[in-house]
């Protein structure tokens, strides 16, 4: 018997609806196991956030600047408001790698840096986000940061 994709999805959906719900302790254990998948990532520490600077009055039109540092790379970021939230960044030293933006809603976007290490995410959502740089020597992730 051959089954097409739509029929397979319907069968799978019916099977999932007829079983008992997954116990809370198993969901908690699964989430904990999932978190360990990135245990080898280097964590880039937030070393500068212009939103935390208390040097006078800050204009609403000024872009927020953040700098994250790890032993192998510095991630410089500007968050620009107006017509949507835009993230513009650069890696120091410059390198052509993939940068991943993860939102607290689980949405993930990827961009490739140019030869100067620059990258842009045009429609970043509000809330907590984290950047992950996937380089030749492994992955480096920023702390979760509220935009």
Token digits of residue 104: 């607290």
Read off the pLDDT of residues 103-118 as tens digits, 9 standing for 90 and up.
988 889 999 999 999 9
Domains and CATH numbers, the chain: 5-36 (no CATH), 41-146 (2.60.40)
Tell me the average pLDDT across 92-98. Answer: 96
Q: What is the largest CA-CA distance in the chain?
A: 73
Beta strands 42-49 and 138-142 are parallel
Check pLDDT > 70 for residue 68: yes
Check pLDDT > 60 for residue 56: no
Token digits of residue 140: 């480096």
Please report the pLDDT score of residue 37 as a whole number. 63
Tell me the average pLDDT across 72-100. Answer: 93
Query: Taking the chain, what is the end-to-end CA distance rounded to the nearest angstrom?
Result: 52
Return all residues near 112 (Cβ < 8 A) that are at least 6 apart.
96, 97, 98, 99, 119
Please give the residue that has the higher pLDDT: either 131 or 32. 131
pLDDT band at 89 (very low <50, low <70, confident <90, very high): very high
**pTM above threshold 0.95:** no
Please report the pLDDT score of residue 134 as a whole number. 94
């Amino acid at each position: 018997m051959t089954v097409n994709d739509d029929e397979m999805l319907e069968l799978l959906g019916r099977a999932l609806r007829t079983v008992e719900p997954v116990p809370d302790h198993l969901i908690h254990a699964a989430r904990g196991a999932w978190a360990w998948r990135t245990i080898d990532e280097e964590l880039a520490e937030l070393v500068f956030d212009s939103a935390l600077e208390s040097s006078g009055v800050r204009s609403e039109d000024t872009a927020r600047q953040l700098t994250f540092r790890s032993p192998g790379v510095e991630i410089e970021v500007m968050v620009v408001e107006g017509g949507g939230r835009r993230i513009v960044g650069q890696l120091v030293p410059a390198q052509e790698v993939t940068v991943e933006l993860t939102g607290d809603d689980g949405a993930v976007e990827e961009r490739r840096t140019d030869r100067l290490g620059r990258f842009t995410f045009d429609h970043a959502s509000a809330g907590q986000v984290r950047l992950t740089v996937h380089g030749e020597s492994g992955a480096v992730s920023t702390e979760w940061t509220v935009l």
